Copies of this chain bind each other. A is one copy, B any other.
């Protein structure tokens, strides 16, 4: 199989960029010193790096899923500001003997995620370097269309707490992978991956190629959301961050969580998994009580004076999956 080292930087970059559609807002695409991007209103910018080992395992992730997840996790940060994603840049650094085909699959996954989750958004620039392990850095840019950004700090007592997207499924997927596709020391292997995809496609897709509801970010902003963030670490951790940023208490309700998210994609999801599972990248949004929630959002709680996060009447300890230390229940 042709390697990156054999093809050379510009050859690889050409093959990778050819697999990705244009960004609608691109005035000048890849190939000059910079890309040029049309922006309406203020721009939002976020950056995220995924590194083989700590952040993903090639035994579990195909290149396509890796590219998809890279795009999805950055797009959800843009959506969480109430902005419309317009462009991504992709910096890849890989070992010399990496098959070019792997990078082409990354590009295809990234492109597919843009097309499906954020139509019109595309890759406007890239960079390719050498590294001991596969290293991918994505920067995502979005436009606010003249609106103010929706920050984490805008929640006020009396507001409604809502969530849109999958909740806890990605964490169940990670738990399943550690339980069924890792050796006793936690090292990922691919011996059972095909079988797991056949038996549990929902939770594996949620973990390996999450599909957050990107268009609901600007829709929530237009509807009047006063605080918003994407849930990357876990609902309990990120609700705590929102509560701190806003100087309020967030109260989540078991009954509402069970009612809205107890069954997702035909999978039974326990409330504990909703509270502690990370990486779903759905939108945690806060709306004034008189706002009708946009379709796609479910009310899961309310905002009060005080601090921290409660589940019903009880204090809730922020807790999430840590892929380095957590072993799934029963293992």
**Nearest-CB distance from A77 to chain B (Å)?**
4
With beta carbons under 8 angstroms apart, the residue of B27, B78, B137, B142 that contacts A47 is B137
Nearest first, the 6 closest Cβ-Cβ pairs linking A and B are A137-B137, A34-B44, A139-B139, A33-B80, A47-B89, A34-B46
| Contact A127 to B49, CB < 8 A, known contacts A44-B37, A135-B93 | yes
As for how many copies of this chain the complex holds, the number is 2
* Chain B positions within 8 Å of A124 at CB level: 45
Contacts of A135 on B, CB cut-off 8 Å? 49, 51, 93, 131, 135
Contact of A45 among B46, B76, B141 (CB under 8 A): B141
Q: Mark A56-71, 1 if CB is under 8 A from B, else 0.
A: 0000000000000000
Determine whether A39 belongs to the interface, using a CB cutoff of 8 Å to chain B.
yes
- Whether A45 lies near B34 (C-beta < 8 A) is yes
Most buried by B among A47, A77, A131: A47
Given A78-B34, A144-B36, A229-B32, A43-B46 contact (CB < 8 Å)? no
Q: List 25 A-B contacts (CB under 8 A).
A: A27-B149, A32-B81, A32-B149, A32-B229, A33-B77, A34-B44, A34-B45, A34-B142, A36-B45, A36-B149, A39-B43, A45-B89, A46-B89, A47-B91, A48-B127, A49-B91, A49-B93, A50-B129, A51-B129, A53-B131, A55-B129, A89-B139, A91-B137, A93-B135, A135-B135
CA distance A130 to B56 in the complex (A): 11
Contact status B93-A51, CB under 8 Å = yes
Size class of the contact patch on chain A = 35 or more
- A47→B127 CA distance, assembly (Å): 6
**Are the CB atoms of A149 and B34 closer together than 8 Å?**
yes
Asked whether, in the complex, the Cβ of B132 is within 8 Å of the Cβ of A47, the reply is no
Contacts A51-B130, A54-B129, A132-B132; A45 near B91 (Cβ below 8 A): no
- Give residues 24-42 of A contacting B (CB, 8 Å): 27-28, 32-39, 42
Q: Find chain B residues with CB under 8 A from A76 CB.
A: 33
A135 to B33, CA, bound (A): 22
Contact with B along A9-37 (1 / 0, CB 8 A): 00000000000000000011000111111
Give the distance in Å from the alpha carbon of A145 to the alpha carbon of B141 in the complex.
Answer: 18
Q: Specify which of B81, B129, B133, B153 is in contact with A36 (CB 8 Å cutoff).
A: B81
User: A159 at the A/B interface (Cβ < 8 Å)?
Assistant: no
A151 at the B interface (CB under 8 A): yes
Nearest-neighbor residue (CB-CB) of A78 within chain B: B34
Q: Does A83 contact B (CB under 8 A)?
A: yes
Q: For the complex formed, measure the closest distance between the CB of A41 and the CB atoms of chain B, giving whole angstroms.
A: 9
Whole-angstrom distance from the CB of A215 to the nearest CB of chain B? 16
A87 and B46 CA atoms in complex are apart in Å by 12
Chain B residues within 8 Å of A83, by CB: 34
CA gap between A89 and B44 in the complex, in Å: 12
Which residues of B lie under 8 Å from residue A51 when comparing CB positions? 93, 129-131, 135
Determine the chain B residues whose CB is within 8 A of the CB of A228 once the complex forms.
33
